[in-house]
Structure 1
Amino acid sequence: MGVFLGIVLFALLIGISIALHELGHLATAKMFGMKVTRYFIGFGPRIWSFRRGETEYGLKAIPAGGFCEIVGMTALEDVPPADQHRAFNRQKTWKRVVVLSAGSITHFIVGFIVLYFMAWTMGIPNLRDTAQIAEVAPCVQSSADAECAPGAPSPAKDAGFQVGDVILAVAGTATPTWSDVLDKTQKRFGTTEFKVLRDDREITLTADVARIDREVRRADGTRYKTEVGAIGIIHQRNFEYNPVTAIGGATAFTGTMFENTWRGLINFPQKIPAVVEAIGGGERDIDSPVSVVGASRLGGEAVDRGLWQLFWLMLAGLNFFVGVFNLLPLLPLDGGHIAVNLYERVRNWIRKLRGLPDGAPVNYLRLLPLTYLVIFVGGAVTLLTITADIVNPIRLFQ
């Protein structure tokens, strides 16, 4: 039941994000005095609608997006003389770009708001694996739940490590992540130098690395005991904030999300073959692309297990991804329309420098083959991911 409710909630929030995307186009178009005739969520047959002023608002049967119809979106449209001055293609270029980008900007705002409330109420996970210390243990422990024996060594405490320190290097080797710190420390024994960032100052601490028996997990899941080096520090896995500091925390994490989104888009094409293999029964990679169906299912699993932080993180990530993807300079995406409008502006500026009049508006009919190709490829990828999410879904919890 928890999974079902989580799926419904995640799908509903995705629908709200889509509605807000189109509302961004609607609001900015009306702000600039453009005529908006229709605002609908979904496609296909009309389910319900109402008219307010010159705009019809409503829902359609197929929940696969939405649209905001603005008069004169291209020069090919036949615009009544009375609406010529309010047509989209008659407005200044910067106004058109604002309207076209408003949908993606709305996604970015939604994503930031989600991250802000996450930071304030439940904290933000350390996705960068930053080597920051959350706690200095009173001793070196063989496991997280082990108790400290009286007089047990505490190398980190003796060396002067403090909560909030970020370890930059171990024995002269840079350690950009906590995994690097563990790797370098576990191989050490005895006196070792640690370069630490504290209050924006780099300092050097010397710790006597102890050797302890610790259980290690192999790649196949089996465990064994081995001797490793340790100094008694605990990783900062979650960053917590108050209502004020959450603004900075959410802003910094938004940058991380944008970076991950861009990296995901670049690597997207090479991950498609793995999706095809998964449909045929191959192992489904947790990093493989997912559809809205798969994302909703993962959201349902998160809710069922009470992992609300993961639920909201996926929702924020989806908003950032859709926002960035929609700005790609490809028709029929908003980014494609932005590219066309900017091209016309730059071309006319060059013509003006040469003493020539403005050129004719871009003929969208000539761009139809490329537009159809983008639609075909996008549709094919969507069908592939939906199929994979049904027959071989990603499972976060086995």
Structure 2
Amino acid sequence: MTTLMMILGIVVFVIGLLFSIAWHELGHLSTAKMFGIRVPQYMVGFGPTLFSRKKGDTEYGIKAIPLGGYIRMIGMFPPGPDGKIEARSTSPWRGMIEDARSAAFEELRPGDESRLFYTRKPWKRVIVMFAGPFMNLILAVVIFLGVMMTFGISTQTTSVGKVSDCVIEASQNRNTCAKGDKPAPAKAAGLKAGDKIVAFQGKDVGDWSALQSKIRETVGPATLTVERDGKRLDLHANLIKNQVSKTDGDGGYVEGKYVYAGFLGFTPASGIVQQSFGQSVDRMGNMMENGVESIVALPSKIPDLWDAAFGDGDRKQDSPMGVVGAARVGGEVFTLDIPPQNQIAMMLFLLAGFNLSLFLFNMLPLLPLDGGHIAGALWESLRRNVAKVFRRPDPGPFDVAKLMPVAYVVAGIFICFTILVLIADVVNPVRIS
């Protein structure tokens, strides 16, 4: 049964992945057609074609390898200086440029001169290239907000999970009391596991983040109002100043960072809590920020990935994960001994995270990514506007094809990194903790 559920989870994730890819390419396709650009192909996947059907100017199809997708637009790059595709050169760099230019004019038909991508104004090209990643962002936001506001997320609550016996500085990294340790204020006040703190100093507290802030701001006498066995009672504690872990502003902790603040001495219980629209938006903002930081940190994670793939290093929970690894996690989600609604919520979060990553990654200003084409269009717009201001001749379209040698290098790096992640995902996968 476990194997069957694992397979089912993988299948569900792959279907979600294919939908995400198709949704991404639909953004490119719809805006390209809106601006009159001819699109010969719309494909989900790579490799041999499993199914295709032509409608109008475009062939729609599904390919065998579900690791991406694409649309082909006529005239992605401008012709050479003579107005034609330049002749082949013995220079390998020139060959790369002209291969790209030649591919951009494949299937050119009479009348297509007015339907070429590069002839569109830069702002239109920016919209076409941005529309794909933006579709992934929309999907991620809708899923994240939908799950957080309807189902909720696992979060720390104002209920007491465990009461500390004594006062220990956070940097000491120990859980047992030593001789001479002072009793924790929470224990001395009579706080018990299972109590729900509903007010602090007479003011209601609705979530753990607010309660945590009030505790840390207080040194000295404090009144806690708790719910215990269906009744409310006031407990009186004398908070002290102690070394505690630094917070991230949302109730979480920053590893290895400490501050001195008010200390009560208990561990909050976790539970599934529905989020308000404002809370959900705040969490989405934090996810975006963490996503950007993760992409910036990718090069620094290569040594750990290498050690996890070819050495005896542990695979860290924040390690980069590819499609194979994500599909494996998707399979594990359906094998967890948790309610079905929790499994569905976790799967949706996994797919939403994948879409958010697609958006952020594609916005990198590097060819062959969408962000590289956006950067090229913006540069062309800047050049033309500067020329107009200084009354200089129009410099014409920016030839993005000249950057293809760099694009091949970037693509090569991405491929090597993808292979490394794939090997790590197979031999030392990230697992659900």
TM band (smaller chain): 0.7 to 0.9
TM (norm. structure 1) is 0.76
CA drift of 1:64 comes to: 1.9
Distance in 2, Cα, partners of 1:313 & 1:271: 23
**Are 2:293 and 1:263 equivalent residues in the alignment?**
yes
Residue from 240, 243, 252 that aligns with 2:282: 252
Within a 5 Å distance, the mapping from 1:306-385 to structure 2 comes to: 306=338, 307-308=342-343, 309-385=345-421
The residue that corresponds to 1:43 in the other structure is 46
- C-alpha distance after superposition, 1:303-322 (max 9, x if no partner): 21144233222211111111
- The CA deviation at 1:124 is 3.0
Which moves more between the two structures, 117-126 or 376-385?
117-126
Hey, what's the Cα distance between the residues in 2 that align with 1:250 and 1:50? 41
Contact 1:158–1:207 (CA under 8 A) maintained in structure 2: no
Label 1:158 to 1:394 Cα distance change in 2 as closer, same or farther (>3 A).
Answer: closer
Structure 1 CA distance, aligned partners of 2:409 and 2:223?
58
- Please give the TM-score of this superposition, normalised by the length of structure 2: 0.70
Distance 1:274 1:171, change over 3 A: closer
Match of 1:160 among 178, 202, 207: 202
Preserved contact between residue 299 and residue 314 of structure 1 (Cα < 8 Å): yes
Q: Partner letter of residue 202 of structure 2?
A: G
Q: 1:240 aligns with which of 274, 292, 303?
A: 274
Query: Partners in 2 of 1:319 and 1:19 — Cα distance?
Result: 12
- Asked whether the equivalents of residues 136 and 161 of structure 1 are also in contact (C-alpha less than 8 Å), the reply is no
| d(CA) in 2 for partners of 1:263, 1:164 | 30
Cα distance, 1:171 vs structure 2: 5.5
SS of 2:283's partner is helix
1:396 is aligned to 2:427: no
Given that 2:13 and 2:351 are in contact with CA atoms closer than 8 Å, whether structure 1 keeps it comes out as: yes
Report how many aligned residue pairs link the two structures: 338
Instruction: Give the aligned residue type for 2:10.
Output: I
Q: Distance in 2 between matches of 1:98 and 1:353?
A: 25
CA contact (8 A) 1:42 1:65 kept: yes
* AA at the equivalent of 1:274: D
How far did 1:121 drift? 3.1
- SS in structure 2 opposite 1:304? coil
- Per-residue CA deviations over 1:378-398 (Å, capped at 9, x if unaligned) read 00010000001101111224x
Distance 1:366 1:317 in 2: 34
Letter in 1 for 2:113: Q
Contact 2:376 2:400 in 1 (8 A): no
Please tell me the root mean square deviation across aligned C-alpha atoms, in Å.
3.2
Q: 2:75·2:116 contact (CA, 8 Å) conserved in 1?
A: yes
CA shift, 1:298, in A, is 1.0
- Contact 1:281/1:392 (<8 A) preserved: no
Contact 2:222–2:238 under 8 Å retained in 1: yes
Match of 1:22 among 22, 25, 48: 25
- 1:1-398 alignment runs, 5 A limit: 1-76=4-79, 77-78=104-105, 79-126=108-155, 134-135=158-159, 159-160=201-202, 162-164=204-206, 166-167=210-211, 168-170=213-215, 172=217, 191=221, 207-209=236-238, 230=264, 234=268, 238-241=272-275, 245=276, 247-279=277-309, 280-305=311-336, 306=338, 307-308=342-343, 309-397=345-433
Q: 2:164 touches 2:266 (CA, 8 Å); kept in 1?
A: yes
Q: Match for 2:319: what amino acid?
A: S
Amino acid at match of 2:144: L
In structure 1, distance between residues paired with 2:378 and 2:52: 35
Classify the secondary structure of the residue corresponding to 1:254: helix
Cα gap change, 1:381 to 1:171, in 2 (>3 Å): closer
Q: Counterpart in 1 of 2:170?
A: none
After the TM superposition, which of the residue ranges 231-240 and 318-327 deviates more from structure 2?
Answer: 231-240
SS at match of 2:320: coil
What secondary structure does 2:111 align onto? helix
How far the C-alpha of 1:232 sits from its partner, in A, is: 7.0
On the 8 A contact 2:29/2:42 being kept in 1, the answer is: yes
The SS at the match of 1:33 is coil
Asked if the contact 2:201/2:223 (under 8 Å) is kept, the reply is: no
Change (3 A) 1:231 1:366: closer
**Residue 27 to residue 248, structure 1, CA distance change in 2 (3 Å):** farther
Structure 1 gap ranges (5+)? 143-150, 174-187, 195-204, 212-228
In the aligned structure 1, how far is the partner of 2:135 from the partner of 2:55? 23
Displacement of 1:363:
3.0
Query: What's the offset of the Cα at 1:291?
Result: 0.7
CA distance in 2, matches of 1:111, 1:123: 16
Contact 1:208 1:231 in 2 (8 A): no
Residue 61 of structure 1: how far off its partner (Å): 2.2
Partner SS for 2:78: coil
Q: Please give the secondary structure, in 1, of the residue aligned with 2:43.
A: strand
Shift of 1:296: 1.0
What are the superposed Cα offsets for residues 231-257 of structure 1, whole Å, 9 maximum, x if unpaired?
Answer: 77845754415xxx5x44443332122
